[in-house]
Amino acid sequence: MTTSLEPLVIGMGSNIDPAHHVSLALDALHQRASVVDTSSVYRSPAVGLPVGSPDFLNLAVRLRWSGTLFELKALLEDIENGQGRVRDSGSWVSRTLDLDILVAGRLHGQVGSFSLPHPDIERFAHVAVPLAELVGEHIHSRLGVTYSDLATSMDASHMERLEVLPRGTVA
């Protein structure tokens, strides 16, 4: 029996030349996967980084994917690496690009080196709010609540929804 990966949503974030890197990542995903939809783009402070760190741009991207999750994870890492992602300096650092699998159907638990649903969904509004825009009616497979309910329970007052990416790139 095959487990459905629908919905399949990745999170995207950047705080080093973020409009540039987000645009390149979206282009790369359009070329190498089937992009179904994207959320709005949100600007938010760099949580956990030193004071004065540049703001992040965050969004969620819904995909159709015919390969395995391990192949998707490898693709996301390839896109990150192609944009100069540095991995050896810890997780709480500025970055050119961060791509994470947030949701893959009703899968839950450890999948190789990552967890599903992604644990940041229940920790950070900058992850939950864009996700809820795309799949708000779906149920978090571990918590048993909709992604919309989860997102609305969080303080998103620090987030700014952007109509367009800086430099005029359409969001």
Q: Does residue 169 lie within any of the structural domains?
A: no
**Total residue length of the chain:** 171
This prediction has a pTM of 0.91
Q: Does residue 123 lie within any of the structural domains?
A: yes
Q: Does residue 3 lie within any of the structural domains?
A: no
Residue 110 half-sphere exposure, CB side, CA atoms within 13 Å?
2
Tokens of 103: 């949701």
Question: pLDDT value at position 86?
Answer: 76
Share of the chain above pLDDT 90, in %: 73
pLDDT digits (tens, 9 = 90+) for 7-65: 999 999 999 999 999 999 999 999 999 999 999 999 999 988 888 899 999 999 999 99
Name, of 88-92, 138-142, 162-166, the range with top average pLDDT: 138-142
Share of the chain above pLDDT 70, in %: 91
What's the whole-number mean pLDDT along residues 67-96? 85
C-alpha 76 chain-centroid distance = 11
Question: pLDDT value at position 171?
Answer: 39
Query: What's the CATH number where 148 sits?
Result: 3.30.70.560
> How far is Cα 77 from Cα 83, in angstroms, rounded to an integer?
10
Give the helix/strand (H/E) hosting 13. strand 8-14
Q: Which of 68, 79, 75, 78 is nearest to 27 (CA)?
A: 79
Q: Does residue 171 lie within any of the structural domains?
A: no
Q: Does residue 22 lie within any of the structural domains?
A: yes
Q: Does residue 120 lie within any of the structural domains?
A: yes
Q: Does residue 131 lie within any of the structural domains?
A: yes
Q: Which domain holds residue 103?
A: 8-164
Q: What are phi and psi of 112, to 5 degrees?
A: 60, -120
Q: Does residue 114 lie within any of the structural domains?
A: yes
Question: pLDDT value at position 112?
Answer: 85
For the chain, the domain total comes to 1
